[in-house]
Structure 1
Amino acid sequence: MERSLVLKVLLVDDEPLARMRLRGLVDACNEPKAEVVAEAGTASQAQHWLRDHACDLILLDVQMPGPDGLQLADTLRDRQLQGLPTPAVVFVTAHGEHALRAFELDAMDYLTKPVRRERLQAALARVAQRLGERAAAAQGRPGAETPDEGVIVVSDRGRMLRIPITEVLYLKAELKYLTLRTAQQSLVMDGSLSDYEQRLGDRFLRVHRNALVARSAVRELQKLAGMPGDEEAGEGTEGWAVRIAMVDEWLAVSRRQVSAVREALSSSS
């Protein structure tokens, strides 16, 4: 991302004082620079504004009258999966218990109130980095991380690792980070699962909100008792799961993706 580019931010919070304080924090951030282009007091107002306007980032409260912030983020994620332009989301809330759900929705960050300027600036930097990677990939610039390069670059304890995509078994969203699994190791990295879904294309299959699996790594589909993570199933029920080749790990499969997993198994056989 070019230094001269300024992040356009939409504030969504039902408390006017909270929006005023957050606007001041955004204005105080220097690198990257950001400006608040609009405010909304409800998720519905935000959706209405987004029909006719664009922004780079939404700073989003969770608990609001009417549809809450998680529902708005879910709507935005569906737009992104359809290939439509979608702003990044950073949650800003007084409630920490929604963090796991927020990151399943590919939120870039989850900030708890009262927000410190340094913490907000770090979140803005992550958004700016993502926008820069997208712009570089779209322009085909050298160094852009695109599927054609055949690698995913991971920063691991001060080292920069280039992991061939052919070695990646799955990517899983966990809290603020992604876990990249190969046959030999698990690596923790920054990024958005939806971004990688678009970049990796048909070689990977979305089996759940929080997991992308290489089609070549799909080995078995079963119903397992107590399998966590199926958003449509109630607690204590059996859930669908897929076994991953080479590591014999099981990942939850949402019911809406079961047919796609079955198709991947049929194709591989």
Structure 2
Amino acid sequence: MTVPATASPLSLLVCDDEAPALARLRDLLSDIAPELPNEIVAEADNGLRALAAVEGRRVDVALVDIRMPKMDGIELARHLSRLEHPPAVIFVTAYDAYAVQAFELNAIDYLVKPVRAWRLLEALRKVRRKRVPPGLLAQLPQAARSHLSCHERGRLLLIAVADIIYLRADLKYVTARTRDREFLLDESLTHLEQEFGTQFIRLHRSVLAARNALAGFEKGSDGDDADAQWQAILRDVPDRLPVSRRQWSLLKSFARQLSS
């Protein structure tokens, strides 16, 4: 069925690190435009550039490659889902039919390379009928993210995990501290520990520190916390972090490594 000419075109983000794949999607979208009006409003070759490209734009659909450098398609989709008006996400993948089954989750569709025009049209028609339910992306298999995101003054900001010195819980927010500034995250410290346990170490019930940011430990207490008899010294910022009695017993061997 051809969409009436009066229907507003779907606005699209197309993201793929392979130039031929981008060109093919561009051609296919042009071919199916008489049946389903569409307009590419942003293109990118990785997730970081894709997020920058859609800033300030309203996008209906993101056609996203899964394997990309710097930020893969699954992580990109997770950040896109936090936008004020999140686009529907259609994954583009070179996985074989068995691997692709992992991504067959109702409203989230996938296209297998080389993409066919009829399949692209079918996927976009699904978007016309149904949006991506919140939380569905969480069901996808995921590696640890390379970036965290937060909302600030109406913008979605990205914080490279490698730049985070520590994460500290305070009421319902978690503060992520980098060398330059702090960011407020709407995330659980427990969840962050589970995701980034190889990069961060727990010092206290409310604090995770980047392992490579720790310079040593010293006796002392965080005046507001009677349970903290030790403090962690950091390499790039003057802040001191509390170490609880319970965690100190687990951190002693790590402290010896730092001092040796």
TM range (shorter): 0.3 to 0.5
Which structure is higher in helix share? 1
TM-score normalised by the chain length of structure 1: 0.45
| Structure with max Cα Rg | 2
TM-score normalised by the chain length of structure 2: 0.47
Higher RCO (CA < 8 A, seq sep 6+): 1
